[in-house]
Every structure is written in C-alpha cells, then in structure tokens.
Amino acid sequence: MTAQNSTQPRSKVFIAFQDNEESRPVIEAVLADNAEATAAYTPGLVKIDCPERLVIRRERIEENTGQPYNLQQLQINLVTLSGHVDEDDDEFSLSWGR
C-alpha cells in the first residue's frame, strides 16, 4: 500500500439498514465508532458510507440499548452492504483491504 494523499480517491464501503426502532441503536453505534462515517436518510432506508473501513462494535450497541446484543441480530434489518465482511462475536467490519 502507498501512503494516501488527498488527490487520490479513497474507496468507500457502505451498509444500509431499514429505518426503524431496532436499527437506530446500531446506526448510532456506527456513527459513534467511525469518525468518517456519514449517514444518508432516504424514505425507509438509512445508508452509511465510510472511506476505507467501517466497524460495528457489539459493546457500543449494548451501551446504547442497555440490553445484551448478538451481532447477528443486525442481519434482521440489514438491507445491503458493500465491502469484504469480517465478523466475530464482538465486531462486524467492512473494508476493501486484504
């Protein structure tokens, strides 16, 4: 990998959820844990873009809801995503890196 400079476009990953009560704590967690993430709200859908890498942390979602959370629950409201998925019990991340 070469060092990034501002003129080079950076590849983005994205993830989109249904806009509902269940995905709100997840979206809040993503925006809190990824400084560069931006959320775009369209009717019924929230699409989050993030350059390079996006991570969803179980701990942060649990902080938001006060309830135990299994990361696989996010599949219920997941609409679409792009990027290589890397998933374990604590983190769900998307990136184009190898």
Partner 1 sequence: MNIELQAREIQPQRQTFARVAAHTGDKPASRYLEAMLGAQPAEHFHYKPTWEQGFELYDKRRTAIVMNDWYALRDPRQFYYASWTMARARQQDAMEANYQFVESRQLAQKMSDALRAQVCTVLLPLRHVAFGGNMNNCQICSRGYGTAFTAPAMFHAMDQLGVAQYLTRLGLTLEEPGALEAGRNDWLQVKAWQPLRQYVEDSLVVLDPVELFIAQNLALDGLLYPLLFTQYVDDHLAVKGGTAVAMLTNFIPEWHTESARWIDAVVKVAAAESEHNRTLLSGWYSRYVERAASALAPIAALALGDDAERALADVKTALEARARKAGLDV
- Which stretches of the chain bind partner 1, using CB under 8 A? 21, 24-25, 42-43, 65-67
Cβ proximity to partner 1, 23 vs 93, nearer residue: 23
Shortest reach from residue 28's CB to partner 1, in Å = 9
Cβ proximity to partner 1, 8 vs 67, nearer residue: 67
**Structure token digits, residue 76:** 């219920």
The DSSP result for 12-76, as a single string, is EEEEEEE-STTTHHHHHHHHHH-TT-EEEEETTEEEEEEESEEEEEHHHHHHHHSS---GGGGGG
Shortest reach from residue 69's CB to partner 1, in Å = 12
Nearest to 93 by CA among 62, 39, 56, 38: 56
Cβ proximity to partner 1, 9 vs 66, nearer residue: 66
Shortest reach from residue 89's CB to partner 1, in Å = 20
